[in-house]
Structure 1
């Protein structure tokens, strides 16, 4: 089912013309292209008041059929309409706002090929200056039309969701940019004087610029600068590249250097993190002293020299393998398969209960005396360490 809407829409369309001035100073633009058909143009849904089924920011492809735009009554409706600088409120010129927005008028509207063409007479000085300075070089139609919601495909295979029918012209607006595309603009088709054509080449493309020597010089300077930039050499490390031809290779080298720099920063961070400081050294010495003391108490005569703390702990646990505490903590895990944290847990548990384990008082006293004698003899043989660092070394 078709849904019809009666709307007034500003329909942007670029144009070109031949410009000339009247004796009064008005600007006459002949053969201005006002619109094109068949054509699909894009609109936002909010441009159609009360349109249902679309979000406000949704883009809708709207088709203008040639047989609708070029109907005799549609073409005739644009003859004599006002010209404005941009569109008036609500896209409508009427008796209440005509004086405020009128800058000239459009006449002699007709079809020429795929274009709706007309002649403009612009009377407003500001609007004339804007056209001459290329600030207003395109045209936008203001009209009423019926919007038919239907899906279809234009002759150029562009899909659309709606189409315009029954155009009624209201005004033509001067704008800077048009919706119809770059087919044409308000331009000056005055030809270059014969025998004074000049051609320049920019980036390998030839351009004809009439007799504008200043423009030719400027373009030549830009071309020379571009050539110099392309030929410039860039050195990265021990490699040299031509900027214009080897940007990809340069980027690859820069990426490699960046990766290597990131890896180096990570390694430096790890080294700083693991660096032995005096505080850490004190902590290591204290920890080893404690482990050796606990190990000797648990297994008298156990070897500690040349062994790491973890190895000492494992040897103690191995010696105590039948202890119920070891069995309870490891839960059947072989000592050789136990993780460092499990070994540490078992060792700490054994150390914690060693002082409350039942013992032979006489035997313990004798063993303690014998161990003290051995330690005294060993200390007499070794020079006294002068620093904590030396003491730590001798404990291994």
Structure 2
């Protein structure tokens, strides 16, 4: 950031009024929020024809800047070195009063002329233009104002030095410029009333060659960069939206798959009438067996619980404590065999004595018959009387 001297034209808001202290006229001395064009040579840039300088309203109307207006001297012409404490007495013909205010986009100040000769000069057809001489800091950087106007530098830290009464001004009635760059700082040229030569350059915009000024090129480059950034943001937002949508679809698909799996599982668990009959019969048989082992209430118990309860009832809780289902099922089956009802035929066969073979029985019967026939006549006869 560098410091430069500037002089901007002013215009009055009315006729001079004589007061006890001198002659007073209200003037607009500065504008805020605009862009002013200066010759590059006056800004120290010899390779640039024009430099566009942005004057932010926040800087122009800053409280510290306002404080530098009050009591600044009025001079005839711009002093080459400005007004200093050493030259004030010789140069000052009046001063800016203290009532510095903002008037729309302008700074408005009361000018108090105390020198009669200067007033006479103004009223006699002499120099009637007013020009503000001030210092300001300038930062050279490209940009675009909120209104879309491109610029090459930004002005800040305004410090007023004096107000000059000048002649032969180069601008119009508003914001007129001073009387020559050689005496005091740079003056704006955008209101000069004549064409200012500018160096044009060629740039490529979306495949097309465009001829424009340096400031125009800077503005186009900024707009292009901004457009690319906006496109990148939009592309990312679209990609994020697509990815989010795909995630939502995947989540829905997973939810649908889960519902279908649960439905299929429920279908698999549906029992047909025949299977239901088998299950009922099997459960009835199991409960019957359990009751044969130990008569108890097995209502509401699962098959494993029925076996465990029957074994525990028959053998005691210790028989099933910390035992696996397979172990308990084996004990149940053993107890079931022991508790089965007796088979009469099987019992008879089990308890029957051994018998001889049929041939042996026949031989014995034949021998007894023969003995009866051969020896029977000798047997004693029991005669009853």
Q: TM-score, normalised by structure 1?
A: 0.40
Q: TM-score, normalised by structure 2?
A: 0.41
